[in-house]
């Protein structure tokens, strides 16, 4: 259970507790009102009894007034606590965890690195280096097969992120399955480019949904 989970549960529990206290307070106020109404209809000639009833009525009026203030207090803070709990759950459902942020950023950088390698000059002497780099990137991308979006996210957000991870894995496995010099073969290169297009299309879906700063991702890539 995350810190936000605990915070949300605590606030919701507090909201429920305050709600129960509010219900008890309301019942007590209603009962006082019933007694006050009964006393109002009592007619006595005895002066001492009238005074006693009058005093009792004043006490009930004061108690009902205090209970009203207390009830307003409980309702306000119960609403505030519940709203904060709902917001905490909403925040979790619509924002990336640090782990997902890191994983998505690393995937973005790896895809860019693959594209950069495919655009490198594949003249004699560079073949081995390009091939080795692509194999490394392919292996790292294949590892996305075990990645999953945080389950606190909404079902749509989980789907979008998991699809992105799946396509990254597909790209990695596609690279790994190619012959060493596939980047010199136009047909094989086109197959890789098609997978990259699918990855980048889904990548944009994730970036737009979570308002990820793509410029910051590029800065991180340049610093690698």
Q: Are 134 and 200 found together in one domain? A: yes
Query: pLDDT by residue (tens digit) across 175-220?
Result: 888 877 776 777 888 888 999 999 999 999 999 999 998 888 877 6
pLDDT in tens, 130-150: 888 888 999 999 999 999 999
Domain that holds residue 7: 3-94
Is 25 in the same domain as 108? no
Q: Are residues 117 and 152 in the same domain?
A: yes
The domain boundary residue, chosen from 60, 94, 128: 94
- Identify whether residues 107 and 82 lie together within a single domain: no
Same domain, 82 and 147: no
CA proximity to 192, closest of 138, 124, 151: 138
Q: Are 130 and 187 found together in one domain?
A: yes
Residue ranges, the chain, pLDDT below 70: 1, 121-127, 183, 220-224
Closest to 200 (Cα-Cα) out of 93, 114, 80, 74? 114
One domain for residues 146 and 206: yes
Give this prediction's pTM: 0.75
Number of domains in the chain: 2
| Dihedral of the alpha carbons of 57, 58, 59, 64, in degrees to the nearest 10 | 90
Residues 137 and 56 grouped into a single domain: no
């Amino acid at each position: 259970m995350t810190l936000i989970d605990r915070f949300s549960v605590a606030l919701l529990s507090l909201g429920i507790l305050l709600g129960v206290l509010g219900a008890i307070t309301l019942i007590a106020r209603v009962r006082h009102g019933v007694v006050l109404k009964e006393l109002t209809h009592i007619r006595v000639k005895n002066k001492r009894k009238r005074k006693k009833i009058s005093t009792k009525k004043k006490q009930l009026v004061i108690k009902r007034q205090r209970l009203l203030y207390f009830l307003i207090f409980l309702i306000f803070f119960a609403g505030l606590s519940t709203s904060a709990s709902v917001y905490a759950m909403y925040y979790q459902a619509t924002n990336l965890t640090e782990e997902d942020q890191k994983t998505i950023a690393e995937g973005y950088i790896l895809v860019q690195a693959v594209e950069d390698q495919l655009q490198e000059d594949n003249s004699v002497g560079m073949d081995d280096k390009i091939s080795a780099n692509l194999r490394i990137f392919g292996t790292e991308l294949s590892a996305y097969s075990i990645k999953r979006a945080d389950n606190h996210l909404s079902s749509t957000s989980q789907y979008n992120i998991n699809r992105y991870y799946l396509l990254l894995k597909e790209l990695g496995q596609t690279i790994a399955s190619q012959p060493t010099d596939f980047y010199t073969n136009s047909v094989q290169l086109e197959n890789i480019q098609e997978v990259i297009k699918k990855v980048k299309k889904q990548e944009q879906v994730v970036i737009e949904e979570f308002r990820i700063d793509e410029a910051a991702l590029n800065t991180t890539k340049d610093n690698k």
